Structures are given as C-alpha cells and as structure tokens.
Amino acid sequence: MSKKIKVLYIAGLGRSGSTILDKILGEIDGFFSVGEMNYIWDRGLIENRVCACGVPFRECKMWKEVLCEAFGALDRIDAQKMQAFREKIRTRHTLLGLLPRGKRFLSARLGKYPNEFQRLYQAVQSITGSKIIIDSSKFPSHAYLLKMLSVIDLYVIHLIRDPRAITYSWQRKKFDPGTGIFMPTLSPLKSSLSWLAWNVIIELLWNNSDQSAKYMQVHYQDFVTQPKVIIENIVRFVGESPSDLPFISKNHVDLAHAHAFSGNPTRFHQGKIQILPDTEWHSQLKLRYKILTTLITWPLLMRYRYALAPRHPALE
C-alpha cells in the first residue's frame, strides 16, 4: 500500500493572512504550496490566470507536468464539468457530514469528483518530490472533500483574524496583477456573517476529539507579531523538524518564486519581506461598520478573546 500524502490545509475566511502564511510554509525544504487548489478548474484551466512564477497557468511548466501526470494531457480535462461538481459541495453542505446519513448523501452526491483531486495531489507529490503539500483553499468544503480521500493525511490549520479587520479588508479596493482587475469586495454584513458561519463550521468539523490531533488554531495577530515561532509550531504540528526556515531575522523572510495561480496579490511577492501587523482598520474602518461587525460576531469574539471595543494598538 502506498504511503499517505500529507496535506497541510489552511482553513478560514479570506483576508486572514493565508497567502503569506502559505508562501512562507512553501519555502521550507520538503514543503510545496499549491495555493488555492479548489480553484484549479476555473481560475487555473478556464481563466488561465497568471501563476506566481510569472507565466499564465497553462504555460507554467510545473502545472503542465502535474496535469499531464494526473490526467494524461491538458485537453483531456473537462474543467467546466469539474467546476460544476465543485458547486455540489458548498460550505453549508459540510454540516451534513456531521450526520452518518449526511455523510453517505454527500458521498453519493460527489460521485468520483474527489478522486480527481486524489490524482492531482498524487501528481503534485510525484512531480515536486515534496513530503508535505500546503493548500490554502480556505473553504471548509474543500477540506471536507480531502478528508473523504483515504490516501490523504489531512492536517488543518484554522486561521483566525479579528472580524473587524476582515470587514475592513473586504471593503478595500485591491488590484490583482494575476487578473488585471480589482479583487472582489464584500459588504460588512456579508463578511461578518460569513466570518461567524465559517468559524463555527470549521470548529464543528475539526475541533473535536476525533480530529483534534490534526487541528491547530493560528491567530493572525500571533502570526504577524512572532511569525518565526508560529511557523516553527506549524512545522512541528505536521511532524517535521523546524530547521532551515526561510527567516533572515525574527520577522523578515526571504521568498523565492512559487506556483500559486490564485490568492491575494501577495503571492507574487519575492525577495526579502518584512512581516508586520496590518492595523489600518483600527483608524480607517467606519464606526458603524465596527459596531455592526461586533454585534454580529460577538459570541465568537468572546470565545477567541477579542475585545468588544478594541483600542488602537498605538494607544495601548
């Protein structure tokens, strides 16, 4: 029987710092980042977005080799069909996975779709020779799908950030050089409700006695204030030894090219990067949005020990 493939999955609502976390982990010897693998059919094959290595996805040597190894040839893949399958498992559907009958229902609904990902992750491991594959798809649904595959040994990092910072980030206009257009925005109401729902679902699915050994919470503010310590903890969490990390000081990293075709524009960053907390939201988020976000998310704010009325860090 072949050895299981270790996948380190970053789960959590977008704008939580997942892209830079993924990038740093991907620099470690034996680790390889695939970015947001759940978008491979649309953002990769159909839209042909620019890979972090600088060429369009379909021209990227690494992805061409992976797809040929997995499926024989690029033109053998029906990306539209695969994308339609992905819609059969949305975040809300994963709650069915908590019930025995629901598990069977989801399994029947997805058919052979999870096996397509099995071929992909097997091909990534074989082409890159990596021990650990990092996937920052973030969706609880994609983690659920990976958990269905017996060949995958899944480790989940639950990345959590103050929802007021997330509300602000989802409102900010950010240009994505990978698409040539601005990144999507979300209303404060929608981002707050999504933050609440996603964190509850991730905890229900992974923070329990069956899974807890392979579940780790990482708080954004811990990661950005002591990145080296957090990366060391994550490396130990997946059973590896934290030596030869890409840090040149306790909060500076040296990044090379990667192959993420989707994610925050940070995926294109390379060279020496300083990891710093982004505190702009404290002064820039409108008071009414701060109040709205706090009212919607307060149960989990308390659970994660965020202040209901946060003070600007400069005043502390």
Contact set with Zn ion (CB under 5 A): 51, 53, 60, 259
Instruction: Compare residues 224 and 255 and give the one whose CB is closer to Zn ion.
Output: 255
Q: Using alpha carbons, select from 119, 121, 128, 113 the residue that is nearest to residue 32.
A: 128
Q: How far is the CB of 63 from Zn ion (least distance, A)?
A: 6
Instruction: Compare residues 13 and 60 and give the one whose CB is closer to Zn ion.
Output: 60
Instruction: Compare residues 24 and 216 and give the one whose CB is closer to Zn ion.
Output: 24
DSSP secondary structure of 111-175: TTHHHHHHHHHHHHHHHH--SEEEEEEE-HHHHHHHHT-TTEEEEEEEEE--HHHHHHHHHS--E
Q: How far is the CB of 94 from Zn ion (least distance, A)?
A: 30
Instruction: Compare residues 51 and 148 and give the one whose CB is closer to Zn ion.
Output: 51
Q: How far apart are CA 224 and CA 55, in angstroms?
A: 30
Q: How far is the CB of 20 from Zn ion (least distance, A)?
A: 18
Residue located via tokens 């990769």:
44
Instruction: Compare residues 49 and 138 and give the one whose CB is closer to Zn ion.
Output: 49
Q: How far is the CB of 66 from Zn ion (least distance, A)?
A: 10
Q: How far apart are CA 117 and CA 95, in angstroms?
A: 21
Strand, coil or helix: what is 50? strand
Q: How far is the CB of 32 from Zn ion (least distance, A)?
A: 12
Q: What angle do CA 158, 164, 169 make, to 5 degrees?
A: 85
Q: Using alpha carbons, select from 129, 139, 150, 148 the residue that is nearest to residue 31.
A: 129
